[in-house]
Structure 1
């Protein structure tokens, strides 16, 4: 009798383990593959984000209309910047492979794509934008976009952060 109970216990544990593995595989197939990460650091505060929803395709570049749509999205994790602070942008090596640029609504922050995984910028300069008369003015917040470039110079993905200037 003891042998029958013992062997049934092993079978139950084996069946439970098989079910757990199967459920785990089913759950993994339902998940989206995570995108590479971009990070913004200001002082001791760090915010990390995946690509903006619908704005990343690992296998092909974004169309011009999709890129424009992605750049105009007003989303992203918010990080506060005080006068005099530097804003650091770090990217996953997969983003840096062909290059990346950072931009605000007013202009790109870099002259050409960078293959480095980290760059820093003067925080206050990010909030200076030109008004319709062409004069520079300081705005209280900006949307910062990190754009991954593909091997042909097209955009593959966009990551967003919102920067708020504190006085």
Structure 2
């Protein structure tokens, strides 16, 4: 009888320990960013979400995106961010470099976006990494980076 109680106690202790381990592995989800071209959309959580220096933000913006979307030439690019990102402010970066001023809206549209435009004699790029970077206007502090791979279906 004692060995049966010991086994039950050990099994209960093991189940509680496993449950606590699973709970400790859960992180609070980060705010979301979404990009849309035509009827296609992709959303993602942040690649990095903490207080970042300019160098850390640039390094994070060059990380391989987990989400990709085809970018037809001349379509409207729509960016949507959670309200907490808009409250701080955000900008678009392309291939790890700032590309726009800071926005403080949850939604922004870029009409006739031609991200793969080329000069005569150049070949079009096959893809770009476009990042939504949460940052205060004029600040060197960054809070989050959301990466997307934009693929050129015409290349």
TM-score bracket relative to the smaller structure: 0.7 to 0.9
Shift, 1:50, TM fit: 0.2
State the partner residue of 1:126.
115
Q: Could you say if the C-alpha distance between residues 141 and 105 of structure 1 is closer, same or farther in structure 2, counting changes exceeding 3 Å?
A: same
TM-score by length of 1: 0.69
Residue from 97, 107, 117 that aligns with 2:87: 97
- 2:49 is equivalent to residue 56 of structure 1: yes
State the partner residue of 1:85.
75
The answer to whether the Cα contact below 8 Å between 2:77 and 2:112 also exists between their aligned partners in 1 is: yes
TM-score by length of 2: 0.74
The answer to whether the Cα contact below 8 Å between 1:106 and 1:129 also exists between their aligned partners in 2 is: no
Shift, 1:158, TM fit: 0.4
Shift, 1:107, TM fit: 5.1
The answer to whether the Cα contact below 8 Å between 2:74 and 2:114 also exists between their aligned partners in 1 is: no
For residues 64 and 103 of structure 2, the distance between their equivalents in structure 1, rounded to whole angstroms, comes to 24
Computed over aligned residues only, the root mean square deviation of the Cα atoms, in angstroms, reads 3.0
Residue from 90, 93, 106 that aligns with 1:117: 106
Gaps of 5+ in 1: 1-22
Query: Based on CA coordinates, which of the two structures has the bigger radius of gyration?
Result: 1
